[in-house]
Amino acid sequence: MNQFIQISDCHIDDNEQSMGVNSHANLAKIVDKIITTQSDALLISGDLTYNGTSQSYKKLKEILAPIKDNIFVITGNHDNLDNLATEFGDCLFDSITLGVWSIININSVQIGKTSGFLTTNTLIKLDKQLHYSNAKYNIITLHHPVVPMNSEWDDALSLKNPQDLFAILDKYHNVRAVLFGHAHESAEFDKNGLKIISCPSTTLQFNNERRIGFNYYTLFDNGCLYYKTQWINP
């Protein structure tokens, strides 16, 4: 059995205020909770910063410093890959192994656009990763939602070609979940037994939820996946 935590959309900026809230203080509260929670890894699923500046990534690293677990990050549409790689290069990944599970990262970011798209090369790479994976069970993570959110969220800002993703995932029955952020809300969907899970933001939610939060996952050796959204009052 393994546990990991997913946070998303931290939107750390050079100044404390971004998106109308104190994103620095909110993330610090999340970190205070994370360091008291048993976990094998921390996954940050994009939009680590708001404007992608070098200073904002330095500040993010400072806020995350109390966390001693392995930290893994993927890019979001607000991130600057060069500046992200400078401060978090060791945390960028193609796949993570946790026991008999593997978490595979696919890049859905379109430069200069809010919505996501998976290129042909990205899809071919994913197909090969799943085909040759030694893991018993796989999880896919990306930044953008892959299903309609059925909420206040504008689905036009989600992944533009989810059908191309599912055409690959449907071939591999050991893919148990798809995780993403971007929509700033906690939600779960099911597609023929595949769990599709949205992670809340550490900054603020886009629905009526006033709390901030993260997802806490438990992976069992028999292929079962359990998670719970942990909420914190900002």
In the block, residue with structure tokens 């008291």 = 36
Tokens describing residue 66: 């109390």
Distance, in Å, from the CA atom of 79 to the CA atom of 50, rounded to the nearest integer, reads 7
Q: Where are the beta strands (DSSP E) in 123-211?
A: 137-141, 175-180, 187-191, 194-198
- Sign of the C-alpha dihedral computed for residues 171, 177, 181 and 185 taken in this order: positive
| Residue pair 80/53 in contact by the 8 Å Cβ criterion | yes
How many domains are there within the chain?
1
Per-residue pLDDT of the chain (234 residues; tens, 9 = 90+): 999 999 999 999 999 999 999 999 999 999 999 999 999 999 999 999 999 999 999 999 999 999 987 999 999 999 999 999 999 999 999 999 999 999 999 999 999 999 999 999 999 999 999 999 999 999 999 999 999 999 999 999 999 999 999 999 999 999 999 999 999 999 999 999 999 999 999 999 999 899 999 999 999 999 999 999 999 998
Distance, in Å, from the CA atom of 193 to the CA atom of 195, rounded to the nearest integer, reads 6
- Side by side, which strands form the sheet with 212-219? 70-74, 41-45, 2-7, 212-219, 225-232
Tokens describing residue 203: 């900054």
Range of the domain at 129: 2-232
CATH code for the domain in which residue 95 is found: 3.60.21.10
Tokens describing residue 174: 């050991």
Q: 0.85 cut: is pTM over it?
A: yes
